[in-house]
Amino acid sequence: MNTRRITILLVTILLLSLTGASIAYARASSYLESYFVMLTPKEGENGRMIVSFWVQGTGIMDKIGADAIQIQRRSGTDWITEATYAGEDDPSLFYGTNVSQYRNEFNYYGTPNYDYRAVIYVYAGNSSGSDTGNHTSGSVTCKP
Amino acid sequence: MLKQGPKAAASPSLDVVNLKKRLENKSPEELIEELDQLLDNGVIHDTPTDSLLISTYIDILEEKDPVLGDFDPEQNYADLMERIQQSTYLSPKTVPGKSRFSHLGYYVAAAAAISIFFLGSSYALGADWAKTLFQWGGDLLLLRPVESGQLTLPEAQTEYVSLEDALKQYGLDNLSPGWIPPEYALTSIEVFPMESFVEFAAVYQKTSGDYLSVSILYFLQNAPPEITFEVTPDFREIYTVSDIEHFISSNTETYKACWINGACEGIISGKVSEKELKKIIDSLYERQV
């Protein structure tokens, strides 16, 4: 296989991986439809990162949102949880009631030049039952 | 407005009930003949009454001699061209009896006239003629709207009357569907502006409670992030329209699609069929053509 073929193969693999990068599939749910959490680092704001999340239900839910969000920092090959926010500690920030989807965001100040990611544990429920799921964001580098 | 022609059609204020009763007793050929006369006499003008008159004839005609169920525009166009060719090459002298195609000119003229009336009175009648199709069937060319659910709210109700309206106010185009399944109607349109993204959320519902949601997430600082979708394992498909891949999947009772277009991620989910979902996706891009 010559260099040109190897290059084409690598580019194809890269494109395929990018195509699928926006979607992760989880098992079916009668309550949860889709969800994400993401970190947005802010330049020149002393390590500020915006933690944004969005949870969509299959219809109007009595309660829908985040049971918990963890902020993790990379340490070598491991991820260390730096902070955990529990939904029940601040329901007005983390849950919506009688809505089909809920979103919110808050600030987290990390250590500049370290890689961070967030993990969300989502919840949706109504009188018929409830379900939970989780999602891990892509990693970002905290900016000074 | 009508000045002369068939008796029941001559009244400026059309009595639709009596007209329907009268027309229901006629054969399709008689109806076409009467419609021919109306058009020949030049008595029809671009008025709501005349549009209603024509549509009453067309409705009764369709009841008696329905147009094709599964309309294929390309096939029907090919058939039409073939028929026109045949009618050109067949001399009336060589064809025994009265050919139905001898009225082809009338039908085409009728269709053209009908199209003018329908388009002219479109907005007054509240129809979405932007999504209109020509249909050929039963020797009659018809101009019919592709039925859609209700995409707008009454203007006085909220800040935005439709998803398209909300998106436009943020300078975003071609992200809202131009078609949703009939019986669905927009029940809420909300915009949630945040620091990192703006969510445009439209909810359409049927009277039965069935639910269809269209969400557009506009990411202001990052590329659209990875999103987790709850899906059944048996159905996943990539549906490409306008060079954009739409990831279609199903959940327990819903179908859903998501796609990325620039800085926006779109998500449609609800109680619709796979076919309807694809039609909604198609309608996202029809305005671009």
Q: Where are the domains of chain A?
A: 31-141
Least confidently predicted of A44-53, A87-96, B54-63, B263-272: B54-63
Q: Identify the CATH assignment for A31-141 out of 2.40.160, 1.10.287, 1.10.10, 2.60.40.
A: 2.60.40
Residue B244: closest CA among chain A residues belongs to which residue? Answer: A19
Average pLDDT across chain A, whole number: 87
Owner of token pair 């219809």 = A59
B183-214: b (≥16 Cβ within 10 Å) or e: ebbbebbbbbeeebbbbbbbbbbbeeebbbbb
Q: Say which of B203, B226, B231 has its CB closest to residue A36.
A: B226
So what's the pLDDT on residue B4?
36
- Alpha-helix residue ranges (DSSP H) falling in A20-125: 91-94
Q: Say which of A27, A105, A138 has its CB closest to residue B230.
A: A27
Average pLDDT across chain B, whole number: 72
Taking one residue from A and the other from B, the number of pairs with CB-CB distance under 8 angstroms is 117
Least confidently predicted of A75-84, B230-239, B263-272: B230-239
Q: Is the pLDDT of residue B208 over 70?
A: yes
3-state secondary structure B181-248: CCCCEEEEEEEEECCCEEEEEEEEECCCCCEEEEEEEEECCCCCCCEEEEECCCCEEEEEECCEEEEE
Contact B229 A50 (CB under 8 A): no
B contact test, residue of A38, A121, A127 with most B CBs within 10 A: A38
SS3 of residue A131 by DSSP: strand
So what's the pLDDT on residue B81?
58
Least confidently predicted of A134-143, B65-74, B116-125: B116-125
The secondary structure element, H or E, covering residue A40 is: strand A32-41
Q: Say which of B221, B254, B269 has its CB closest to residue A40.
A: B221
Share of chain B above pLDDT 70, in %: 60
Distance between CA B251 and CA B286 in Å, rounded? Answer: 27
Average pLDDT over residues A65-79: 97
What residues in B contact A52, CB-CB < 8 Å? 194-197
A contact test, residue of B229, B267, B277 with most A CBs within 10 A: B229
Nearby residues of A36 by Cβ (< 8 Å), 6 or more positions away: A53, A54, A120, A135, A137, B225, B226, B227, B228
So what's the pLDDT on residue A77?
94
So what's the pLDDT on residue B279?
95
β-strand partners of B145: B132
The reply to whether CATH 3.30.200.100 applies to domain B163-288 is yes
Least confidently predicted of A82-91, A95-104, B203-212: B203-212
B contact test, residue of A27, A54, A99, A122 with most B CBs within 10 A: A54
What ipTM is given for this predicted complex? Answer: 0.81
Question: Nearest-CA distance from A51 to chain B in Å?
Answer: 9
Band (pLDDT 50/70/90 cuts) for residue B105 is: low
Q: How many residues does chain B have?
A: 289
Average pLDDT over residues B191-202: 95
Residues 134-193 of chain B whose Cβ lies under 8 A from any Cβ of chain A? 192
Band (pLDDT 50/70/90 cuts) for residue B152 is: confident
B234-251: b (≥16 Cβ within 10 Å) or e: eeeeebeeeeeebbbbbb
For chain B, which residues make up each domain, given as ranges? 7-145, 163-288
Contact B253 A22 (CB under 8 A): no
β-strand partners of A64: A96, A124
Contact B230 A21 (CB under 8 A): no
What residues in B contact A123, CB-CB < 8 Å? none
Report which of residues B225 and A2 the model is more confident about: B225
Q: Say which of A19, A26, A101 has its CB closest to residue B215.
A: A101
Contact B229 A101 (CB under 8 A): no
Contact (Cβ atoms closer than 8 angstroms) between residue A67 and residue A86? yes
Band (pLDDT 50/70/90 cuts) for residue B12 is: very low
Residues 69-98 of chain A whose Cβ lies under 8 A from any Cβ of chain B? none
Q: Does B261 touch chain A (CB under 8 A)?
A: no
Band (pLDDT 50/70/90 cuts) for residue B72 is: low
Question: Nearest-CA distance from B226 to chain A in Å?
Answer: 4
